[in-house]
Structures are given as structure tokens and as C-alpha cells.
A and B are shown apart, each in its own frame.
Chain A
Amino acid sequence: MGSHSDIISTVEFNYSGDLLATGDKGGRVVIFQREQENKSRPHSRGEYNVYSTFQSHEPEFDYLKSLEIEEKINKIRWLPQQNAAHFLLSTNDKTIKLWKISERDKRAEGYNLKDEDGRLRDPFRITALRVPILKPMDLMVEASPRRIFANAHTYHINSISVNSDHETYLSADDLRINLWHLEITDRSFNIVDIKPVNMEELTEVITAAEFHPHQCNVFVYSSSKGTIRLCDMRSSALCDRHAKFFEEPEDPSSRSFFSEIISSISDVKFSHSGRYMMTRDYLSVKVWDLNMESRPVETHQVHEYLRSKLCSLYENDCIFDKFECCWSGSDSAIMTGSYNNFFRMFDRTTRRDVTLEASRENSKPRASLKPRKVCTGGKRKKDEISVDSLDFNKKILHTAWHPAENIIAVAATNNLYIFQDKVN
């Protein structure tokens, strides 16, 4: 079940964690809502059920270049909730849209000029004035596009990030980063531009960007060369000069032709505290202290056993897979995906890590997940899986962690898995 267009391409909890949004390759957004506690159905507490589904982006054709613009949703970011409605930004390669999701549970009846089915009443038949009354109806969740931010990106958008001022947001493509005001769609400010005058001199692209969670003038962007630049918008309008430059010196003993490719950062995320940031490259996750640019304070190996397979992974293009990473609500743990539907969680306090699998065959509802282990050589123990048996088509690129509780969402191709800590 599920077709190519059902492949989930982004997963994001909202600020309260009650809503979970997914975007897919077909341009659809599906929002799940957490069920409220219900005494008559104790097991349903904490379950996420479909709340709203809508088509966010459609495929487009760029006539100038004779190329299709994919409808795939690259990123979804929620806005902080300010009233009863929910707002989110969703983007494909070229266009960002602001969606309003609102509930309707009342219906007006007794219009003067219209019949109940909407047809206009014959004016001559209107003999009395009546006031429409609101009657309850089944809950309807409507999504409507409120803003469309288009035509600002020549290259493919890889990131969007809402600012802590709640008024602006940034969008980043391979070579440029733009700043938008949420109310204004016909104008954006270019704040980073790394496009060389001659494209033949291009050797580095922007891979991800994010605003600082508390300092509304600060953002970071990562590159394909494994570097992170922190910029302060107060210093100049065009933030081509970084305020801080984070790069770990290369280990000369492990240098190979693939060194640069595997150093390319696929995701960058600030911790909730704003003191740290995390980067994901092909084989590892690194935690950086914003006050130390020379090297990360933590490095966690995700699947080091792939280092000897880099040539094959280059051949089948897996080496270009872009894995995301996320922090737990308290920043005490981090999570990222791997292959074979495995995902990894690292506890920063206990220094323990675990490999888990998101698959129907290996987990029953409400049963605990069994830790998995990859055997790297020699004798394979029972329950271990050897590196050569890993399914590289089953990749977990997108994961999300509830902002407050230990609930995680894991996207495995077409399927979304939601796991939570058992409450004993």
C-alpha cells in the first residue's frame, strides 16, 4: 500500500506537541492531533489521529527552463499559536506557503437571503426578518492558504525557519538565504548570498539554515564542506561575513576521496536552550557549543560501520542522503535516522546510545521496541544484522521529538511511526 507520492518528506511537531504535521512527496500535508485524555477510553490517551489533510503544493512547470518544479514538501514549520487557529509554513523547492488551519464546529442557520441549501431565496418571498442562529455541527477542520511567498529562489529551498520575533522567517536555498515578513509576500530581503560570479568557481553550497531560538538577530547556516557560519543580522544587511565560523579540523589519517562528501552537513538544529547546536553529517552527529568554534563538544557515531563501504554508497548515491536530527525537549537526548529503518538515540547525560527499528514486522503496538545491533565483522550473534544485509532503500531521514514529552515521530518511507515512553 502506498505509492511513490506517499513518501514522507518532512515531520514536525507544533510548539505544544498536540499537533504533528507531515509533508509528502505528492505535495500533501497531513496533520495529526493528540487525543485528549478520555476516561472511557484510557488507552487512547496520547494517540495521534488524523486531524486535517490538504494539498499544499501542486507540481508546476517552469517554462523558462523546461523543467518541472516538484510538489514535494521539503519542510514544514509551525508558527507559535496566537489564537484558536493554527498556522504553519510549508515549502517545496521554490514556493513557501502560509496555511491557516481552523476548526469549525458551529453552523449558522436561518439566513434571510439564502435557503438552507445555499440557494438564493426569491426576494418576493421574504416577508420577515430573522436573525440567523448558530447550531452545533460535526467538527470540520479547514485549511486555507493565507500567504504565498513565491519567486524569491532561483535554487532549491532546503530550509525555512521561523524567527523568535514571530514576525519574520528565513528561507534558504543552495546559494542564498532570504528574510521574509510573514505579512508581506511581494518582498524579501536577501541576507546571505554565496553565489560566485562565475558558476564554474562554485565549490560549496548552503545545506541548512536556522534561526536562534531566542536571539532574533542570530541565525546559522551549514555548508556542503562541513562548516557552520553563525551570522548576526545587526552587523550588516547582507550577512556575507559571519560572526562565528565552526569547523572541525580534518583528521588526516582518515582522509579519502569521500572525506568532503561525508563531511557535508545535512541538518543543523539549535538546542532548545539556545546554548548548543547539533549538526548531522553522513556518519555522525556533532554537538557544538556556540562559544567554541574550533571543534564540537560531542561527536556521536551513527553508523561508523559504513565507513568501509563508502565507495559502494557513492555508487548507489546513498552517500548523498540527507539525514535530519532532533533534540529531545530537555536537550538531554538527540535522535537521528539511519538505514534499514533503524534510528539512533543518544543520551547525552548517561552517554548511552541505542539503535531501534521502525517496522511493522518487528514491533507490535504497545510493545517495547527491542534494541538492534549491527554486526560489523566476525561472528554474527543471534539477533544481530550484518552490514551487508542492511536495506539501504529503507532510510529514516526524518524524525521529530515532542517538545515536552518523550514522544517521537519517525518517518520510514511511506509510514509514520509514533513511539512514546510507557507510563507505568
Chain B
Amino acid sequence: MFARGLKRKSAEDGEDVEGGLAGTQATPSYSLQRQSLLDMSLVKLQLCHMLVEPNLCRSVLIANTVRQIQEEMTQDGTWRVVAPQAAGRAPLDRLVSTEILCRSVREQEGERPAPDVGDGRMPGLVPGLSAVPSAQALRSPQSSLWEVDSSRENRGGFQKSLDQIFETLESKTPGSVEELFSDVDSSYYDLDAVLTGMVGSTQSGHGSGLQAFTSAATPPPGSSCRSDLGELDHAVEILVET
């Protein structure tokens, strides 16, 4: 892949003409590399070996890497919210990538039913972040593992997936679905606030999250993953624009 490891530009180095000064954007090649690393990391977090518990150490290290990238992108100003736009239809591969989320959520829950929007702790959806793997990642061998299952609801965005991964590793008493969802982690407010532009707001489910993103007709709550295509596009545009 890359000939060198990615290096962060020193923020204190005023003579660094390549960028990295507060407020200015990083150079395009650095941004691309950083974006690619982010995509790769998110894919890694999503793809878990389903028969055996995922390695917690590895998951934590990858999650920390993603947070670092987010922090830097926030500082750079490359991480910003875009006003809702008319949605274009996403290509099929975008659909497939949302299935990763569905799959990971479904797998974590086992056979338990997907929650409805009454789950008051769920933040607005930001699946776009996690569903923007690079084309390279999509062509990876793992893509053959992805199955399309449109009957399951996409519950959450990147942070939710992270939480799911950690939550799986908790012991839960069987059959206590109520307990499971009451234990669902509250939203990662900083991330969600940045992405949805709704700082401090409490979301009642992904229905309202969708409204924040799309001006197109809002799909009904509890709908399938396809409903997220609209916001995916927006998120893609956010992240690709540099």
C-alpha cells in the first residue's frame, strides 16, 4: 500500500507549508491517505468473525485510531456538516456497505428483534460515516461475506457499531430483551453532534435523524436499510469534499 506510514503534521510547525496549521486544510494527498485509513479502520471494525468473539484489544486499538482521525479532521475543519440536499440514488455498492452495519447489528443481537424507534437513547443516524468504505475495500475478498438483508433495521451509526461490538462482550442474561436495550450505550455525543449538527439534542430514533438529513420523503420508522441511502450520499459528499 503506502510506502510510508501516515504521519501527522505537526500543528506547531508554522513553517510547514504543507498544511496542518489550525484552520487550514491538510494537503489533498494526506487527506486521501487519512480518509483511506479511516475507511479501512471502519471496515475492520465491522467485519468480525461471527463464530468466535472478536478480539477486544484489536477492536479497542482500531476504535482509538478512528477517534484520533476524527479529532484531527475536526481540528482541520475537514469534518463538517453539510446542509441537507436532494438525495441521489446511491450505487449498489453503497447499499451493500450499509448491510455491513445491519449485519453487525443483527449478529450482535442474535435472534432478538430489532428495536423500534421507541428506543429513546438512540441518536440521530450517521451511518454514512461507517458506510463509506473506499472502493478498494469493497473489492476486498471480505465483500463476499456480505449478505443483503433488507428486512432488518439499521439501528445506528459508527459509534453505535462500536458500542455493539463492546456490548456483545458483556454477559447478558438470556431472554431479557428489556435489559439489553436499557443497557444500550448512550450516544457518543461529540461525534454525533458534529455530524448531525444537532448538538445536545435527544433523538427518539432514526426517524428524526433521517429528517435532519434528507429533504426527500422520510421513510417510516422501522424501515429497512435502504432508507438510509439518502443520508449516506450526504455523508459521502461531506467526507469526499476537501
Contact = CB atoms under 8 A, between A and B. Distances in A.
B1 to A, nearest CB: 5
B10 A252 contact: yes
Interface string A257-287: 1101100100000000000000000000000
A156 B4 CA distance: 33
A257 B71 CA distance: 11
A389 interface: no
A213 B55 CA distance: 29
B65 A256 contact: no
B162 A261 contact: no
Chain B CB count within 10 A is highest, among A93, A260, A311, for A311
Contact of A156 (B34, B53, B171): B53
A204 interface: yes
Contacts of A252: 10
Interface string A304-335: 00011111101101001000000000000000
Q: In which size bucket is the chain A interface?
A: 35 or more
A199 B68 contact: no
Contact of B58 (A93, A202, A307, A320): A320
A93 B54 CA distance: 12
Contacts of B63: 203
B149 interface: no
A199 B166 contact: yes
B110 A66 contact: yes
A154 B68 contact: no
B64 interface: yes
Given A200-B163, A205-B56, A310 B5 contact: yes
Nearest to A258: B5
Contacts of B186: 198, 200
B57 A264 contact: yes
A128 B1 CA distance: 84
Interface string B119-133: 000000000000000
Interface of B: 1-8, 10, 33-34, 37, 40, 44, 51-53, 55-58, 60-61, 63-65, 68-69, 110, 159, 162-163, 166-172, 174, 185-186, 188
Interface of A: 64-70, 93, 154-156, 174-175, 198-200, 202-205, 207, 224, 252, 255-258, 260-261, 264, 307-312, 314-315, 317, 320
Given A64-B171, A257-B69, A317-B44, 14 more contacts: A64-B174, A155-B56, A199-B170, A200-B162, A200-B186, A202-B60, A203-B60, A203-B64, A255-B7, A255-B8, A258-B6, A260-B65, A311-B4, A311-B33
